[in-house]
Amino acid sequence: AKGSGIGLLLHYNNNPAFTTPGSANAVEALKNVPYIASFSSFMDETTSLADIIIPSHTSFEDWGDDFTDPAPGFQVATLMQPVVSPVFKTSSLGDTIIGLGKGVGGGAAAKMPDGTYADHLKDSWSGLYARNKAMNASELTFERFWRDTLAKGGWWKQSKPKESRLK
């Protein structure tokens, strides 16, 4: 980070001070970042270097989604939803970012979605559903698709089994 021009590091659910080989000098590099904000739920080696710690929900307490690379050979999109209520006074990383963006004001505030991160996630998936024929081919409404996708933990393009050539 020294001389790199990095003025701010936002750190979330990773620990490069611990996981990076010592020869990479990650700790020294992190110490050269003027301001580090950690959104970690746990005090770890990297979070201990932070100037501010804004604890976020654990993965069991939060909403999220992920889209795989084409590695599986077919489309896969996963959804996560809270399975427990927050144990401590934490907030969703998405809600924190939305709040910070709105707090900055101006253009940043105008680009922030209304409502919570969970609302934004559902709205995003609604748009994805509308654009993706493979997603909306099997469901009557988005609400049914959303409910079913939450229950399954994601969506993946169904493929028809190939016939065996063995006789």
Q: Report residue 18 as tokens.
A: 């611990």
Least confident of 39-48, 52-61, 83-92, 132-141: 132-141
- Asked if residue 47 lies in contact with residue 10, where contact means CB atoms within 8 angstroms, the answer is no
Say if pTM beats, i.e. exceeds, 0.85. no
Q: Report residue 78 as tokens.
A: 């996963």
Q: Model confidence at 98, in pLDDT bands (50, 70, 90)?
A: very high
Residue ranges with strand state E in 27-151: 35-38, 52-53, 64-67, 76-80
pLDDT of residue 166: 67
Share of the chain above pLDDT 90, in %: 69
Phi-psi region of 106 (alpha: psi -120 to 50; beta: other; left: phi over 0): left
Query: What is the Rg, in whole angstroms, of the alpha carbon atoms belonging to the chain?
Result: 20
